[in-house]
Amino acid sequence: MTEFGFIDSIKTLFAPLPDNGFEGIGDDCSVLSVGGGESLVFTADLLTEGVHFLRTATSPRELGRKSLAVNLSDVAAMGARPVATLLSIALPADAADAWAAEFMLGYRELSEEFGVTLAGGDTTRSLSGLTINVTAIGRAADAHLKRRSDARPGDVIFTAGELGTSGAGLQDILAGRCDTPAAAVHRNPQPQVAEGIWLGSRPEVRAMMDLSDGLASDLKHILDRSGVGAEVAVEQIPAAPGADIRMAACSGEDYKLLLTAAPEAAERLAADFRIRFGTPLHPIGRITSGPGLVWLRNGKPEPLDWHGFEHY
Amino acid sequence: MTEFGFIDSIKTLFAPLPDNGFEGIGDDCSVLSVGGGESLVFTADLLTEGVHFLRTATSPRELGRKSLAVNLSDVAAMGARPVATLLSIALPADAADAWAAEFMLGYRELSEEFGVTLAGGDTTRSLSGLTINVTAIGRAADAHLKRRSDARPGDVIFTAGELGTSGAGLQDILAGRCDTPAAAVHRNPQPQVAEGIWLGSRPEVRAMMDLSDGLASDLKHILDRSGVGAEVAVEQIPAAPGADIRMAACSGEDYKLLLTAAPEAAERLAADFRIRFGTPLHPIGRITSGPGLVWLRNGKPEPLDWHGFEHY
């Protein structure tokens, strides 16, 4: 069974249970409205050695930052402000003490940068590899929450940054070049927390998520959840320096925001974003009535067997 | 560094950060007041293969139940009602598919029994052992929350059930006798959810926690956090059938509630508890002005080098 097959079977299995006010599984975070016009959001990410990271290719401090960053990105993708995390970490004997202390320094650095408190967790021995789970909690006004399910035909699709740097960095690392700028970005991604909160406050933003598995995979989640299709102009995909278009569309872990915006307000949104953050929103295509994702080159459909990132 | 040493160093490291309304680390759960007289509580437990469980000695269905049970117990220990969990699980190749499906059935059984929704999580491959992290979320009226820090001199100390069954079961399992009733309890503990919620509603209950590492260790957390001492009469410790007093005091994973109650209302509390649940609250001693935990035998202090449970 694939990971997504397993998740689908879990959703089916748990569907008859009471929801206790929580929205179901299928977005970057689950949502609980707590009254007073406010909601909390929750997300968890599990990182395992050899699957999500190689201890030989990343420092403990960078891994501490990254473990937190990927979760903050999920919170920001909802338009929410991250407020707290719970950190669980299983430490093999050769990663106790100095390694663990360095890991915590990195985790703390990024916690401090985004004003996030550590509200609990668990530490234990591991007989084999390192495993890290972070659960992140965010808060948002109900009206500011963004979901994957709210894209509408005609919406402009934007990415909130250039893509492919992390993928290029991963290639560098796997080739033994661990000291390139792209490799540093791969090991130390910066979540778009301020951008997510700001985009959350804009009513013309409809659907939003973060790009963790690559545009070619992740956009399909918005299409599936919203019951729409999309046309994406490949020449408009903003490939970062060192990445080609295909890498920008297919490699993962960029942790840039992907969003759709009401067409009549999209230009203004992009202009305001540039004023606020000094960087552009990149329009890459349009939501259609669908079905499916159509790649366009020079305005013409092009069949491309592009798909997202597989963890190494 | 020990686990507790590591946790202390983390607390120090994160103390200067903003708390965002969350109470600090050091109780069964962290607490966030969400307004309207209500709080949410959060806890996480990480279970790793070979440290917390042996796949040869437990079925996947039992492990699914236990992974959830230990977290529900932490929520109940605050006097809160568990409402949702996030489940992260790293699956090695030989535990995918059928094993994982059975695990989820067990997890669902107990979720259904306590009306808890599955609000998210993560699944991933593991190159080595199985690792499971559960984050549980509970709700309670602010006034019903119980903490470790509220014991006062004179309080009566109670356990909400007999102790030592799980420890006896672990001995059986390690001796290869996996089919004894005690072994079944060790693999399949029942969290005192209804009891915790009920005790939360009683204002005469002051401090509360769940017994996961053994009375000899866990009571010290209440004493430390409350700045008090205790006298415990060893002959009053309610040893379960098959366990002796020492095992009842020192073995772990019973997941019974440990609480202190105002002396003037303690007898009434125990009587009401028996009416409500059909089982007694067991008085085992008194909170003192301290310091430290004093074991009494026939009313006389007895120096005992008793300490809690170490995971196998």
DSSP labels, chain A? --HHHHHHHHHHHHTTS--TTBPPSSSSSEEEEEETTEEEEEEEEEEEBTTTB-TTTS-HHHHHHHHHHHHHHHHHTTTPEEEEEEEEEEE-GGGSTHHHHHHHHHHHHHHHHTT-EEEEEEEEE-SSS-EEEEEEEEEEEGGG--BGGG--TTPEEEESS-B-HHHHHHHHHHTT-TTSHHHHHHHS----HHHHHHHHT-TTEEEEEE-SS-HHHHHHHHHHHHT-EEEEEGGGS-BPTT--HHHHHH------EEEEE-HHHHHHHHHHHHHHHSS--EEEEEEES-SEEEEEETTEE-----------
* pLDDT at res. B26: 82
**Pairing of the two strands A38-48 and A131-141:** antiparallel
Residues from chain A contacting residue B90 (CB–CB below 8 Å): 46, 48, 51, 131
Residue B301 forms contact with A (CB below 8 Å): no
Task: Give the pLDDT means over successive 10-residue stretches in chain A (312 positions).
Answer: 75 92 89 96 95 89 97 98 97 91 97 97 92 98 97 98 96 92 94 98 98 95 97 97 94 96 98 98 97 95 82 42
Q: Which residues does chain B have with pLDDT short of 70?
A: 1-4, 309-312
* pLDDT at res. B312: 38
Residue A48 forms contact with B (CB below 8 Å): yes
* pLDDT at res. B290: 85
Q: Is A17's CB within 8 Å of B49's CB?
A: no
Residue A265 forms contact with B (CB below 8 Å): no
Q: Which residues of B are documented as binding site?
A: 28, 43, 45, 52, 74, 121-122, 147, 210, 212-213, 253, 309
Closest CB to A30 among B120, B125, B129: B120
Percent of chain B with pLDDT strictly greater than 70: 97
Q: Which domains does chain A have, with CATH numbers?
A: 16-144 (3.30.1330.10), 148-301 (3.90.650.10)
Residues from chain B contacting residue A10 (CB–CB below 8 Å): 104, 118
Q: A214, A216, A222: which is closest to A164 by C-alpha?
A: A214
* pLDDT at res. A5: 76
Mean pLDDT of chain B: 94
Give the tens place of pLDDT for each residue, B151-169: 999 999 999 999 999 999 9
* pLDDT at res. A97: 86
Give the tens place of pLDDT for each residue, B214-259: 999 999 999 999 999 999 999 999 999 999 999 999 999 999 999 9
What is the distance in angstroms between the Cα of B296 and the nearest Cα belonging to chain A?
33
Residue A18 forms contact with B (CB below 8 Å): yes
User: Is A74 assigned a ligand-binding role in the annotation?
Assistant: yes
